A = this chain, B = another copy of it.
Amino acid sequence: MSPKITTELLKQLRQVMKSPKYVQEPVQAYIVPSGDAHQSEYIAPCDCRRAFISGFDGSAGTAIVTEQHAAMWTDGRYFLQAAHQMDNNWTLMKMGLKDTPTQEDWLVSVLPEGSKVGVDPFIIPADQWKRMSKALRSAGHDLVPVKENLIDTIWTDCPQRPCKPLITLDLSYTGVSWRDKIVALRSKMVERRVLWFVVTALDEVAWLFNLRGSDVEYNPVFFAYAVIGMNTIRLFIDGDRMMDPAVREHLQLDSTLEPEFKIQVMPYGSILSELQAVGAGLSPKEKVWLSDKASYALTEAIPKAYRYLTPYTPICIAKAVKNTSETEGMRRAHIKDAVALCELFNWLEKEVVPKGTVTEITAADKAEEFRSQQKDFVELSFATISSTGPNGAIIHYKPVPETNRTLSVNEIYLLDSGAQYKDGTTDVTRTMHFGTPSAYEKECFTYVLKGHIAVSAAIFPNGTKGHLLDSFARSALWDCGLDYLHGTGHGVGSFLNVHEGPCGISYKTFADEPLEAGMIVSDEPGYYEDGSFGIRIENVVLVIPAETKYNFKNRGSLTFEPLTLVPIQTKMIDVNLLTQKECNWVNDYHQKCREVIGAELERQGRHEALQWLLRETEPLVRVQ
């Protein structure tokens, strides 16, 4: 990896920072955040502005360019990568280290008095604007919105914003029509006494209209906004995709409909002016509901007194609770995904053990190949983490030619992968050894497994927040002085983003919403030994009602049901570290894998993989 030479680009950027063509007054600093206008986790190439100006293309980082300096803030996952990818025009600001200044403090220390700091108001979330603006103002500077994105003005070969065809999802996938979703949303709006709701997150637009797209890799979403009134529906979307007869039919664009369900299609770029018009027309006590993470530009379009901001939107919360059609779809998707992984692991055993010719990259490619053979496969749900030996200890590892290792019988192999199927989204991690694991590796694996089971089998009262379960996953590791430095689980979309709010299982998440039946999260404790190996065991699990002796005085009991049905390598388990209850859990789980996945392998005529499944699911026996 050689760094990107940015001298000329920075020179150009510093010119436009002073150019009256783009800025009313010169700005002494310009902030280039990571995100897009929808605060997406995964972004399209045209939105990779920070990578363009700096060379650093990790998933998190904020660049700030002043007349004299260029600095990049990123976190521990990316210190090495950022240092490699950036030339010496850039100063790396290592977030999380004690001596690293915050962006605000740094700006205050380098800016001349009374400076203007520019930022694209469409990219910066309103809550972040508020914090930064306050800090700058108290030091005598000003944060100013710069309408035209200054990176775009110098990015001559910027790729076009994607505008790919849409997929319509019928009731058999979604369970609820978009009309009924609008009705439910409006009833939430009545409850909170708001007149308008602005949909800014891409997965929320997709979910609301039962549409999917492919504008962003791994996330089946499309660039759009929506503004829902009590009698109006406005969808802001570009391209000729609204000319597709299937989409027109799906949205009933050409039908005579009750006016309150008539969708007005408007250009993507007109959201701001339309929202400003809404804002200008409000009477006292009329409110507009927005996420507090919506962009500063859209939030400002509504006068402050008329804004109703919440951390989670009603769509985010409704989307998290899957209905029967969605959970059935998720089940199907996970069965197909398990078939693909049984094929893969069977193939790996044949290739790795005698030949030693499989690399992290070829293994990942093979996994994709097997998945793509399954019905309704669309794409992967994230970049496959295929890692062996020391690479396994890099939690967000993605194999590239420079780091690619060959799988061997001497190293632990960790595969964290998933796919988008039209009926559901998967995300599964298995850790395997193709030779003979050491006692220490088995010990660590078994603690991780105990943590995985402790969450998966946990029973808890209705209304419990996921973060209260996080320590269950760590208890067995903690007893021996081991831990892992990531959360235990995240929400999973239904043929949508593999990471979604508002629920999760993490020591870090305090703003999570209570778990309820129908929510789907991952359960993925791990253990990482720097320079040696990584272990993670991940299932996607569905929140279901539980049977308990006393049922919390009718408050109701919940537990989890694993949707992922892929064998957990018994060779890695030190059975004597398991309790009888844990041992039974593994055996019951493997019995279910045999029944459900075995039947599907049979049906698909995949006999060799079936034999592999049967071998891998032999019951554990605990020596008393």
Interface residues of A (CB under 8 A from B): 138, 305, 458-461, 465, 468-472, 474-475, 478-483, 507, 510, 548-552, 555, 557
Question: Quick check: B472 and A470 within 8 Å, CB to CB?
Answer: no
- Chain B residues with CB below 8 A from A472, complex form: 471, 475
A480: chain B residues at CB < 8 Å are 548-550
Chain B hits for A305, CB < 8 A: 138
Q: What is the CA–CA distance of A5 and B472 in the complex, to the nearest angstrom?
A: 53
Q: A185 to B551: give the CA distance in the assembly, Å.
A: 51
Alpha-carbon gap, A510 to B471, bound state (A) = 15
- A242 to B461 alpha-carbon distance, docked (Å): 55
B residues less than 8 Å from A552 (CB atoms): 481-483
Chain B hits for A468, CB < 8 A: 470-471, 507
Let me know if B461 and A483 touch, CB within 8 A: yes
CB distance from A377 to the nearest CB of B (A): 38
Residues of B within 8 A of A470 (CB): 468
Complex contacts, A475 vs chain B, CB 8 Å: 458, 472
- Contacts A478-B548, A481-B550, A481-B557 known; 14 new A-B pairs at CB < 8 A: A138-B305, A458-B475, A458-B478, A459-B478, A460-B471, A465-B507, A468-B471, A468-B507, A469-B471, A472-B475, A479-B548, A480-B548, A480-B550, A510-B510
Contact across chains for A548 and B481 when beta carbons are under 8 A apart? yes
Residue of B nearest to A479 (CB): B459
Q: Shortest CB–CB separation between residue A108 and chain B, in angstroms? A: 11
4 A-B pairs closest in CB distance = A481-B548, A481-B550, A481-B551, A480-B549
Minimum CB–CB distance from A161 to chain B (whole Å) comes to 38
Please give, as numbers and ranges, the residues of chain B lying within 8 Å of A478 by CB-CB distance. 458-461, 548, 557
A549 and B507 form a contact (CB under 8 A): no
Nearest CB in chain B: distance from A561 CB, A = 17
Q: Are A550 and B459 in contact (CB under 8 A)?
A: no
A557 to chain B, nearest CB (A): 5
Q: Give Cα distance in the complex from A12 to B582, angstroms.
A: 69
Tell me the nearest residue of chain B to A457, going by C-beta.
B479
CA distance A472 to B468 in the complex (A): 9
Within 8 Å CB of A481, what residues of B?
Answer: 459, 461, 548-552, 557
> Could you list 22 examples of A-B contacts with CB < 8 Å?
A138-B305, A458-B475, A458-B478, A459-B478, A459-B479, A459-B481, A460-B474, A461-B478, A461-B481, A461-B483, A465-B507, A468-B470, A468-B471, A478-B548, A479-B548, A480-B550, A481-B549, A481-B551, A481-B552, A482-B552, A483-B552, A483-B555
The closest CB in chain B to the CB of A138 belongs to B305
**Alpha-carbon distance A483/B470, docked complex (angstroms):** 18
Residues of B within 8 A of A482 (CB): 550, 552
Bound-state CA distance A460–B473 (Å) is 12
For A557, list chain B residues within 8 Å (CB): 478, 481
Question: With the chains together, A552 CA to B478 CA distance in Å?
Answer: 8
A505 to B163, CA, bound (A): 51
Q: Which residue of B lies closest to A461 (CB)?
A: B483
